[in-house]
Structure 1
Amino acid sequence: MNDCLFFGSNQFPKLIKNEPNEITKPIQFKFENENENENENEKQIKQISSGYYSTIFLFKNGKAIEYLFNSKQNPEKIQIEENIQKVTVGYDNEAILTIERNVFAKGYYVNSKNPNKFINISSLIEDKNDRIIQDVVSGYDSIYLLTSNQNAYGIGYNFDGQLGFDSKTLPKTEKPILMMKNVSKIFSGNTSYSVFLLNSNQELFGCGWNNYGQVGLGESIKEKKIQKLTKIQNIPKGKIIDIQCGYDYSIMLIENENENENPKRKLYSCGYWQYNGLGKNEDTYEFTEIKSSLFENDDNILDFSVGNVHTLILTSNSKLIGFGHNFSGQLATGDTNDQKFQFKLNFLN
C-alpha cells in the first residue's frame, strides 16, 4: 500500500494509537485489519476526501472505506462496494461518483428522513436525459453535480444563496435544481458556503457567502450573500486550473498559456486574512497573486490544498509550503502555533 501520512486533529484513536488529540508531526496511517492477500490495486490509494465527520479512502480497484467520526472516539468503519470513480466529502455530506456515472449521496440536507443512507441523487434530476454525471463536488452542506450535457445542478443547503437562488424562497432542497447551463467545471470546498462555476468560454461565475469578499467580486460589492450567480470580473489572465474554497477565503490556480514550453502556474486569493489562509495580511476582495520569497524563479505550482483556515502548496521543486491556522497541528510544524507567513515544511525531503 502506498504511504498515507496523517497529521492534525486525531479523529482515529482506534487506528492511530498512543497519539495525542492533536498530531503535530506526520505519522503513517495504518488501516485496520489490512489483508495481506489483496492485490496491489486493492492496496493503492487513488483519492482521499475528508470533512469534519468523516473521511473516505478510495482505492484503485474502485472500492472505498469510510470512517465516521463519533463522540466515542472510535470511528465506525464502512466498506463501500460500488464501482467508484470519485469521492467527495463536505461538512455534513458525502457523495460518490460511480463508473456508471451515477451519484450516490447522504447527509441531512440531502435526505433529512434518513441522513445516514446513500441515495441516488442523480436519478432525482427532473430531465431524464440529463442524468449522466461527469463530476460531483461537495460544499459545506450542499452538493453540486456537473452533467455530461454541461449543466450544473445543486442540492442541499441554500441559506447563503450557494445554490444560486434567493434563500428566503428556497432555503434548501432535497432535489437537484438546475443552476446554470454551459458549465465546464464546478469549484467549492468542504467548509465553504460559496461556489464557482466556469463556463466553456472561461467565464467565471460565483455565488454564496461573501461576508469577507471570498466570492471575489470586488470591494464595491457589499452583499454578504450573493444569491444569484454573478460573473467575476478582473480575473487574472490565463487558464483557470482549479479553485478551492475555505471558510472565509478562496484560492485560484491559473496557468499562463503564453509560456508554451513551460507554462507558469500562479496562485491568487481573496477573502478574510486573519489566520492568513489566503497568504496575505489584509482582506482581499478580488483575486490577487500570492507572493512568497519561498517561490524560486524555476519553481512552479504542482498542486495545492485548502482547509478550513489553512493552505498547503506543493511546488515543482518538491517543496511543501504552508500557512494559516494551526490549532490542531494541521500544518505539521511540531506545534499548534498559527503561521501567518509562508514557511517550508520539511517532511517531504
Structure 2
Amino acid sequence: MNDCLFFGYFSTIFLFKNGKAIEYLNENDSKQNPSKIQIENIQKVSVGSGNVAILTKERNVFAKGKDINPNNPNEFMNISSLIEDTNDRIIEDIICSRSSIYLLTLNQNVYGIGSNQFGQLGFDSETLEKTEKPILMMKNVSKIFSGISSDHVFLLNSNQELFGCGRNVSGQLGLGESRKEEEIQKLTKIQNIPKGKIIDIQCGNWYSIMLIENENENENENPKRKLYSCGYHRYNGLRKYYNIQEFTEIESPLFENDDNILDFSVGYMHTLILTSKGKLIGFGNNFFGQLGNENMGIMGEDVKNHFQVNLPKLRFNEDISNYHISCGFQKSFLYYSPSFSNLEEDLIKSI
C-alpha cells in the first residue's frame, strides 16, 4: 500500500504504510496540529467535499459527514455493516463524491449512500432525496469513478462497458448531443467511448477526464496513454468555448510524441497532469494559486490554455514515476509515494 494524501474542502488526510492516518481539519493546515484518526489498519481513504470514507484491511468501511450521519457528522460510523445483505458486506473499494459515497463489494456490487439530489445514486431524486443506508445501485461492476466535488458517478463493468448517472448540466457524463438533460437519474450506458483500456476517470464539478491506455505493437515500449475530457469548457482542458457533450481527446503543444501520461488529478475546477519527462501541466481555475503559478489566473481568472508548472528542485532522485499528484478543492500537492513512511508523524506538522 502506498502512502497517500487526500484533500477535501476542509480536510486533508495523510495515510501511512502502517495503516495509520492523521487529519488536518483547518484550511490553514500547515500551521495546525493534525488529529490522529482512531481507526486501525486503514487500507484506503477517500475524501469528498463534505464527507470522508475509510476502508480497512478487514474490508469494513467507516464514514463521516452530514449527508451520512446528520446527527453526528464528525463521528465515523461503520456504513458497510448497514448493507442489508449480510453476505455482501466485504468491501473491495470506496470512493467519495461531493455528498455521496460509493462502495464496491467483493461480489462486484455497488452500493451508494448519502445525497441523491441530482440522481447520483441512480434513483429518481423526488422519490429518494438521500439515504443514510447503502442502497444497491448496480451489479457486475469492476471499478467506480467520481470526484471530491462532483455530483455524478461512472461505473465500469467487467466487459469494459461504462455507465453513468447524476448531474449533467454541462455534459460532464459524456452522453452525447442526444442526452442533454441536466440530471440523469438512472444509470445510463455511455456510448462512443474512446478505444483502449479505461485506466481512470476523475470528475470535477462540471467536467470529467478519462485516462485511456492503448496497447503497443512493440512489447518493449510502454503502452501509450491519452486523456479525454467532456463538460464545461473553462475547466476541461480542451480549449473550446462551449460544453463538450462527448469524451474528446485533450491535445496540447506541451505533450511530446515520446512523452507519456504518468499521473493526473482533478480538483474542484482545476487539473494537473504529470508526464514521463517530468513535466507538470495545468489548466483550470487558479483563484487560490492551486495550479502552482502565482502569476497566472489569480483573483478569479481561469487558465484556459495549458501551461507548464515550474517545479521546485525535486528532493528525491528516484524514478519520476514514483511521484504523484493530489488535487483538492482549493489545493494541490506533488509527493513522492514512499516518502511519508520515512517521516515521523510530528514532522508532517511542519509541511
* TM-score in same-fold range (> 0.5): yes
**Contact 1:319–1:348, Cα closer than 8 Å, also in 2:** no
Partner of residue 281, structure 2: 321
Write the distance in 2 (CA, Å) between the matches of 1:182 and 1:293.
40
Partner of residue 111, structure 2: 153
* Counterparts in 2 of 1:254 and 1:70: CA distance versus 1, 3 Å: closer
* Counterparts in 2 of 1:71 and 1:342: CA distance versus 1, 3 Å: closer
**Contact 1:250–1:278, Cα closer than 8 Å, also in 2:** no
Q: List aligned pairs for 1:20-169, cutoff 5 A.
A: 46-69=3-26, 75=32, 77-81=34-38, 82-169=40-127
TM-score with structure 1 setting the length: 0.84
Q: CA deviation at 1:331?
A: 0.5
Write the distance in 2 (CA, Å) between the matches of 1:259 and 1:309.
37
Q: CA deviation at 1:281?
A: 2.1
**Contact 2:196–2:213, Cα closer than 8 Å, also in 1:** yes
Q: CA deviation at 1:263?
A: 1.0
**Contact 2:286–2:296, Cα closer than 8 Å, also in 1:** yes
Question: What SS does the corresponding residue of 1:123 show, helix, strand or coil?
Answer: helix
Q: Deviations over 1:147-191 (max 9, x none)?
A: 010000100000000000000000000000000000000000000
Q: CA deviation at 1:53?
A: 1.3
Write the distance in 2 (CA, Å) between the matches of 1:296 and 1:71.
37
**Contact 1:195–1:207, Cα closer than 8 Å, also in 2:** yes
Q: List aligned pairs for 1:274-285, cutoff 5 A.
A: 274=234, 276-282=235-241, 283-285=243-245
Write the distance in 2 (CA, Å) between the matches of 1:260 and 1:125.
46
Q: List aligned pairs for 1:126-275, cutoff 5 A.
A: 126-259=84-217, 261=219, 262-274=222-234
Write the distance in 1 (CA, Å) between the matches of 2:270 and 2:218.
32
Q: CA deviation at 1:73?
A: 10
Q: CA deviation at 1:286?
A: 0.2
Q: Deviations over 1:42-69 (max 9, x none)?
A: xxx7011111111111011110001112
Write the distance in 1 (CA, Å) between the matches of 2:139 and 2:35.
36
Of 286, 290, 304, the residue aligned with 1:330 is 290
Partner of residue 16, structure 1: none
**Contact 2:118–2:151, Cα closer than 8 Å, also in 1:** yes
Q: Deviations over 1:73-132 (max 9, x none)?
A: 975732024110111110100011101110000001101111111000000001011000
Percent identity, aligned pairs only, is 69
Of 224, 247, 260, the residue aligned with 1:300 is 260
Partner of residue 311, structure 2: 347
The amino acid of 2:37's aligned partner reads I
**Contact 2:114–2:130, Cα closer than 8 Å, also in 1:** yes
Write the distance in 1 (CA, Å) between the matches of 2:218 and 2:84.
43
When the two chains are superposed, the root-mean-square deviation of aligned CA atoms in Å is 1.8
Segments ≥4 residues shifted beyond 4 Å: 70-76
Question: What SS does the corresponding residue of 2:202 show, helix, strand or coil?
Answer: strand
Q: CA deviation at 1:70?
A: 6.7
- Structure 1: stretches of 5+ with no match in the other structure: 1-40
Question: What SS does the corresponding residue of 1:129 show, helix, strand or coil?
Answer: helix
Q: How many residues align?
A: 305
TM-score with structure 2 setting the length: 0.84
**Contact 2:172–2:207, Cα closer than 8 Å, also in 1:** yes
Q: Deviations over 1:274-331 (max 9, x none)?
A: 3x34332232100010001111110111110001111100111111111111000001
Write the distance in 1 (CA, Å) between the matches of 2:272 and 2:289.
13
**Contact 2:296–2:303, Cα closer than 8 Å, also in 1:** no
**Contact 2:209–2:236, Cα closer than 8 Å, also in 1:** no
**Contact 1:214–1:248, Cα closer than 8 Å, also in 2:** yes
Q: CA deviation at 1:346?
A: 2.0
The amino acid of 1:340's aligned partner reads K
Q: CA deviation at 1:222?
A: 2.0
